[in-house]
A and B are shown apart, each in its own frame.
Chain A
Amino acid sequence: MPDTFEKVAIQLRVNGKTHSLTVEPRMLLVELLREALDLTGTHVGCDTTYCGACTVIMNGAAVKSCTVFAVQADGAEIVTVEGLEKDGKLHAIQRAFGDSFGLQCGYCTPGLMLSTLQLLSTNRQPSEKDIRKAIAGNTCRCTGYQNIFKAIQLAAQNSKGA
């Protein structure tokens, strides 16, 4: 392995804002978001592609940002949890998680909300089975998931006609 890494210039849009920066090729997308852009809402849970705390939307698809290199996001459009709120108003998904008590410690919540965002972008009336499938890649160790289900159902209801 080389001792030094030649940095690579990349450009990507995060929550609607364009960023141009140079990164080491080994840098992970989650490190870029948290350390280079100071968007610390995206969490590192397991760092092994298991827990989904690092889930972000990349080009319209939910991905685990601990398992994508930053250079692979060159030219990509990324949405993180910080991108949900608009003009000081919480997103319907954020409100639903609050109203349904769909969180306890909150560590997994950003990832779960982005998995919910992807689900509702393709399926406005998800069944219980659809919801289970959509969040199978997001681990929560507090809630037992029941209130998370309720939150996602509420978010789907509240997003109708939106």
Chain B
Amino acid sequence: MLSQLGENARFLAGGQSLIPLMKLRFSNPSHLVDLSFVPSTAYIKEESGALHFGALTRHAEIENSATAAMIPVLHDCAAGIADVQVRNRGTIGGSLAEADPSGDWATVLLTQDTELRCLGPKGERTVPLRDFITDAYTTVLDHDELIREVIVKIPPKGSGGAYLAFKRSAPVYPTASAAVQLTLDDGACKDAVIALGCVGLTAVRAKDSEDALRGRKIGDKAIAAAMEAARTAADPQPDMRGSAEYKRKLVAALVKRAIEIALRRARGEQVEVGHIYA
């Protein structure tokens, strides 16, 4: 249907990014096809070791879902996005397809084993999230293709994650954010995945930070090395939220705190985490 309407037609999911972008004239679609009237596109289910989210599942539904809380970091992310009103409308699929550099979901889901089932006139394909977002506001989706389902593998026992976003107030995008997933084996770090948000054109994997932790017992020295590597991996734009140097320092501090929380969770502790406000 979208191809019949021409190349300036776009899909509309929850509209909480697209409608503001249209008001700013950053986006100027000739037609919008509202997906919210399509049945069975909002669901959360557990299936063969993974959580499956219908693309139009709203952030609020994920925030309040016991199933989604099987991966605590997903609850943390959903519960911290903007405010109640935006979470009631905005969707996980819409957020990923919009690929805003400051969006929360891409940063968190990059630290998970995440795949996207995409659907277009040519049929269905599954794309790993790490290959999905190619640039700011840019994904591998064809013009008439959409995300149908987001699939996140449940991490093994001994694995814990944390997501921290630093915001000036609830309705705004974070100034910087960090997501960490640690897997422990006999007290040592078997695997580490770290992603940084709002400090580049896309969410970025901080691979040198991961290397600083992997295979070691995580102590002050390893954390300091991971922070320094995160500072270097970040490539932020200075703007009204802060200078580039401020954001580098901030993102390093968020990495430290996220590592500490992920460690506790990996050891089986219940830790409540929310976004941090200035």
Contact = CB atoms under 8 A, between A and B. Distances in A.
Interface of A: 1-2, 25, 47-52, 55, 61-64, 67-69, 71-72, 115, 118, 133-134, 136-139
B85 A62 contact: yes
5 contacts: A49-B16, A49-B19, A63-B85, A67-B20, A118-B84
B42 to A, nearest CB: 13
Contacts, number: 70
A49 B20 contact: yes
Interface of B: 8, 12, 15-16, 19-20, 23, 28, 30, 32, 34, 36, 60, 82-86, 88-89, 169-172
Contacts of B30: 1-2
Given A1-B30, A133-B84, A137-B85, A67 B170 contact: no
Contacts of A118: 84
B53 to A, nearest CB: 18
Given A49-B16, A49-B19, A49-B20, A136 B84 contact: yes
A137 B34 contact: no
A71 B169 CA distance: 30
Q: Dominant SS at the B interface?
A: mixed
B128 to A, nearest CB: 31
B171 A137 contact: yes
A72 B14 CA distance: 10
Contacts of B36: 72
B23 to A, nearest CB: 7
Contacts of A67: 15-16, 19-20, 86, 89
B88 A136 contact: no
A63 to B, nearest CB: 5
A138 B32 CA distance: 28
Given A48-B23, A52-B85, A137 B15 contact: no
B83 A52 contact: yes
